[in-house]
Structure 1
Amino acid sequence: MNIGFVGLGIMGSPMAANLLKAGHAVTGYDLSTERVEQLVGLGGKGASSVVEAVGGAEVVISMLPDSPQVEETAPLVIEYGRPNLLYIDMSTIKPETSRRVARQATAAGVRALDAPVSGGERGAIDATLSIMVGGEQEDFEAARSVLETLGKTVVHVGPAGAGQTVKAANQLVVGGIYGLVAEAIVLLEASGVDPAPGLDVLAGGLAGSRILDIKRHTMLKREFAPGFRIDLHHKDMGIAVAAAREAGVSLPLTGQVAQLVAAAKAQGHGSLDHSALLKVVERLNG
């Protein structure tokens, strides 16, 4: 397929690269010309604007930081896209933003899906992302082959906006687990127990998780190179809290996790990986 890709950041760049490896023709746009040049170096085509990336594309994928960027980009995709264009926004944004984009797209004859992802940079590189898709079932089936190039778990979870709601649930769980792993490390070290074998045992038991599998070693080394930045997780926790308010439910642990992530940002750790919640827990303990 001819695919336009808007947003070639930490996640978007490896995703676009995987589409190229699968044989698709990819035209990419990003505010960073360096990232566009990297895509060209892999065999893709560079675009100097969103409109240029969209022109002639059968599928357009966007992977952007937040709702404002999607709200700026979506009208251009909808206006300049070809008839019956399949528009897959894989950004993590507010559910109401995805619903509004879907309504605008439908009115213009564009098929829109919200398809946020989980798995971080490693998942994007390895094409093992978990992808939660909101939109019409028929449009999901049309997009399935493209999405399965990018992820290992691809699930249609409901109508427009549902993908974003599931992603909000994902982020509150991920943040909570990071916080608890951080507390486990602090407890083990303060008790004079070597945390490395301790976490090995936890990872092999009922407390095991994907986070323990891939992050426990770097957390113990205090290596927080960003796979997913605190700044972005802070944004996502705001979405989770807002979604809970809209649904009229009380999520007390989510509120605590949101404050922990907010503390990490306030302490200047916004550019670090979200596993840097360990730094917050350590600071609480002097």
Structure 2
Amino acid sequence: MPANIGIVGLGLLGSAIAYRLLEARFLVTGYDPLVQRSDALIQLGGTVATAPEPVFTQCSVVVLSLPTSEVVGKVLSSVALARGAVIIDTTTGDPRDAEKHAKTLRSAGGVYIEANVAGSSVQIRNGEAVVLIGMDDSQAKNQHYGPNGDLVESVLTAIAPRRFIIGPVGAASRFKLVHNLLLGLHRAVLAEGLNFAESLGFEPQTTLDVLRETPAASAVMATKGNKMIASEYAPQATLSQHLKDVRLILNLADEIDASVPLSAEHSRILARAEELGWGGQDNSAVIEAYRNGKFSAGE
């Protein structure tokens, strides 16, 4: 009989992971407080729990895909963690929280694995994303996922064929922030460039098509360029979620005395877009901060 894998958090990323697991012929039991998300899992062929607790009691491997690491802590403290339980946490959060969660799991006889996703929900669904792994020191050195290693390996392979073990717990979250710094700035630069070109009188689609053939081309042009041009912001990953990540980047940079002036400016641009009402839309809506005449850099 196929293994039953739990998922807590059925938003954009969680629902894409559920799809991948079901496609790989796993059973999936999920929980989300929003009824429409639970209904979507049922339509995919999964089973819905009415609270987090049954997910942890029915499934030896549980994937967490939650808004923040603080929410992860609340969920873990609200359930009974069985000895041998494996938690695969895909939440982008504070690396120090991940280290605390790992300690909680160890004390309960379980295993905590960071599995930070480098890619959008669409890229996960299409098998195009990369997963960054953080594990206990001994596991990371041996590149082994613990007592249920074969099952965990199968689950991670179903989620994303391409994975990198970054190091101990906390390392993957830190590396994910490096990734998100670069990716987010690529989007902001594309938004600024397209808006600048349009202000100069260049036709947007032609601008994008030409830029794709030049040294200025980037993968972000392929994933976000047409969305920006068409003002089509069906979310693959929300703007507010990325603003949360940029604030984590700034906090971490402050702690280690790293210079990130572009990220500081980026946070102001994203905050402006959020103020304009674009927070729940795709992160490509950052271009709306530029299109709004009241926005100016450094305000």
SS at match of 1:60: strand
Q: 1:269 to 1:110 in 2, by over 3 A?
A: same
Looking at structure 2, the residues matched to 285 and 181 of structure 1 have their Cα atoms a distance apart, in angstroms, of: 20
Instruction: State which of 177, 185, 189 in structure 2 corresponds to 1:176.
Output: 185
Q: Provide the alpha-carbon RMSD of the alignment.
A: 1.8
Counterpart-to-counterpart distance in 1, 2:293 and 2:245 = 23
User: Residue 86 of structure 1 contacts residue 139 of structure 1 at CA under 8 Å; is this kept in 2?
Assistant: no
Match of 2:254 among 237, 241, 245: 245
| Alpha-carbon offset, residue 68 of structure 1 | 2.2
- The change in CA–CA distance for 1:21 and 1:139 in structure 2 (over 3 A counts) is same
Equivalent residues in 2 for 1:109-258, closer than 5 Å = 109-136=109-136, 137=140, 138-139=144-145, 142=150, 143-258=152-267
State the 1:88 CA deviation: 0.5
Structure 2 residue 28 is matched with structure 1 residue 23: no
Q: Distance in 1 between matches of 2:89 and 2:207?
A: 41
The more displaced of 13-22 and 68-77 is 68-77
Deviations 1:185-242 (A, max 9, x none): 1221122222322222322333222210122112111222221111111111111111
Which residue is equivalent to 2:108? 108
SS in 2 for 1:204: coil
TM-score by length of 2: 0.89
Query: Which secondary structure does the structure 2 equivalent of 1:268 belong to?
Result: helix
2:224 alignment partner AA: K
Q: Percent identity?
A: 29
Matched length: 284
Q: Separation in 2 of the partners of 1:152 and 1:248?
A: 35
- Cα 1:205–1:58 change in 2 (3 A) is farther
CA deviations 1:33-64 (Å, max 9, x no partner) are 33223323332221111110111312110100
The 1-side partners of 2:220 and 2:18 are apart by 25
1:41 is matched by which residue type in structure 2? Q
Query: Do the aligned partners of residues 224 and 75 (structure 1) sit closer, same or farther apart at CA in structure 2, a change above 3 Å counting?
Result: same
Post-superposition shift, 1:285?
7.3
- Structure 1 residues 151 and 194 mapped into 2: Cα distance closer, same or farther (>3 Å)? same
Q: What CA distance in whole angstroms lies between the structure 2 residues aligned with 1:106 and 1:206?
A: 48
Corresponding letter in the other structure for 1:175 = G
Aligned counterparts of 2:183 and 2:252: Cα–Cα separation in 1? 16
Q: From the superposition, tell whether residues 218 and 259 of structure 1 become closer, same or farther in structure 2 (CA, over 3 Å).
A: same
3-state SS in 2 of match to 1:91: coil
Q: Structure 2 stretches of 5 or more lacking a match? A: none
Aligned 8 A contact 2:70 2:97 in 1: no
| Aligned-residue offset at 1:125 | 2.1
TM-score (norm 1): 0.93
Structure 1 gap segments, 5+ residues each: none
Distance 1:117 1:60 in 2: 16
